[in-house]
Amino acid sequence: MTHIVFPTSASNQGHAFEDLILSHYHRTQQYTVREWSTYLHGASGTWWQCDGILEDDQARYLVEAKFFRDRPADVRDIDPARRQAAAQDLACTGIVYVSLHGFTPNMLAWPHSDTLDIHFITWADLRTEVLSSVPTYASALLDPFDLTSTQATALCTGGTVHFDSLIPLPLSSQFPEFVTVPDTMEQWLRRTPLLPVQMTQISNGKFWYATSTGKVTLIAHRASDLSLQEAWHLQDTLAGYASRVYKAVRATAEALALVKEGLIKDVKDALHNIGWTTGDAGVRDSLNFLVQLGMARKRIDQRKARYTLSPLGHAYTASGLNDALFADILKEWAPYRALSHAIAMRNVPTTLPNIVAYFKQQYQPYEPYARSLFNPNKAEGLLTLFKQFG
């Protein structure tokens, strides 16, 4: 039986399905994958999130993929008016809609512009052709690998990742070709083909003395300003970051100091008591940023997240809020260091389009195995912090 390995969480399954569809077209060489899942700056100046862009000699297609296990995709899921606007602003000649379970009649009948070439494709249309190229197991990028209970080896490169134990679970009886593993495990399984590249970069690096620190570090041989290891580390770190202004983060730390330990609701109530009207999403984002900086800790208690200040967070809040200490902590955070280095050492202008474009370029040698998460939201948040703290 052929199996394609997917992550466990529904949101990440959607992203994996996007990669699967693009990888299929890439392997058939029917189209060139011009863009993997990303944000693009349109001719109008608008930022658009797109699942991908395919091109051939005559056409350029915006891709929109939906992975609903138990129902077809609807107009409300897709928002075809926005997809059409994105396609036109990004100079696409058509749209390829792909859905695991097909489409509802109202989606199929939605009145697109006559100037766009529209295609509706279901997994059933692709399934036989996709699976015919998979021996036993494959990642969402359709790289085949041997999988045992303790290791996975990419057949294309020999890259191997070891683990204590792994038992893939079926996604559903209707789609037995899909199996799931924990999200982080799935991420590393799809990265496995590039592990030899990381090894090569390290073994072919150079030792560099930095005058500013008086230390020698190993600079890996690489095709961009980022080594593969750095690219993956930035990607993993930024995955949990959402843009928040410093005032909101500062106030959240103050509220958490008052709560001692609590749920998001407890911190939100404390924020309201000191004059903030932040909602759950904003409080969560600020708390998670404090966790990423090592200033707070998070633990799951009966499926709910509880937060408390770390010793570093206590030092920050002990005698009023120490902005200088926050700046020192921030400057050691990997995404902020990468942004600062790009601006100071690579002369990247401090504008949102330039920052997004720079990091997109640095990730291109590693795509689709590594992705730049310096999207407009995250990059804008980092830029705002940089302009405040330098």
Token pair, residue 308, equals 């408390």
Say which residues have a Cβ less than 8 Å from residue 82's Cβ, sequence separation at least 6: none
371 assigned to some structural domain: no
pTM > 0.85: yes
Residue 260 confidence (pLDDT) = 94
Q: What is the pLDDT of residue 222?
A: 85
The single-letter code of the amino acid at 119 is: H
354 vs 360: CA distance, rounded Å: 10
Domain presence at residue 207: no
- Residue 384 counted as domain residue: no
Of the residues 321, 354, 384, which one is the last residue of a structural domain? 321
Detail the DSSP E strand segments found in the chain.
Answer: 3-7, 32-35, 38-41, 47-50, 52-55, 60-66, 94-99, 117-122, 137-138, 144-147, 151-154, 160-162, 169-170, 178-181, 206-210, 215-219, 261-262, 296-301, 304-309
**How many folded domains does the chain comprise?**
2
| pLDDT computed for residue 280 by the predictor | 95
Collect the ranges in the chain with pLDDT lower than 70.
none
Please indicate, yes or no, if residue 254 is contained in any of the structural domains.
yes
Q: What local confidence, expressed as pLDDT, does residue 142 receive?
A: 97
**Shared domain check, 93 and 29:** yes
Domain boundary among 174, 193, 212: 193
34 and 165 in one domain? yes
**Residue 116's domain is classified under what CATH number?**
3.40.1350.10
Is residue 7, in this structure, part of any structural domain at all?
A: yes
Mean pLDDT (the chain) is: 95
Angle subtended by helix axes 352-363 and 376-389, to nearest 10: 120
The answer to whether residue 6 sits within a structural domain is yes
| pLDDT attached to residue 223 | 83
Kindly state whether residues 188 and 261 are assigned to the same domain. Answer: no
Half-sphere exposure of 271 (CA within 13 A, CB side): 25
List the CATH number of the domain containing 259.
1.10.10.10
Q: Which of 264, 298, 321 is the last residue of a domain?
A: 321
The residue segments making up the domain with residue 137 are 1-193
Whether residues 185 and 257 fall in one domain: no
358 part of a folded domain: no
pLDDT reported for residue 40: 96
Domain assignment present for 140: yes
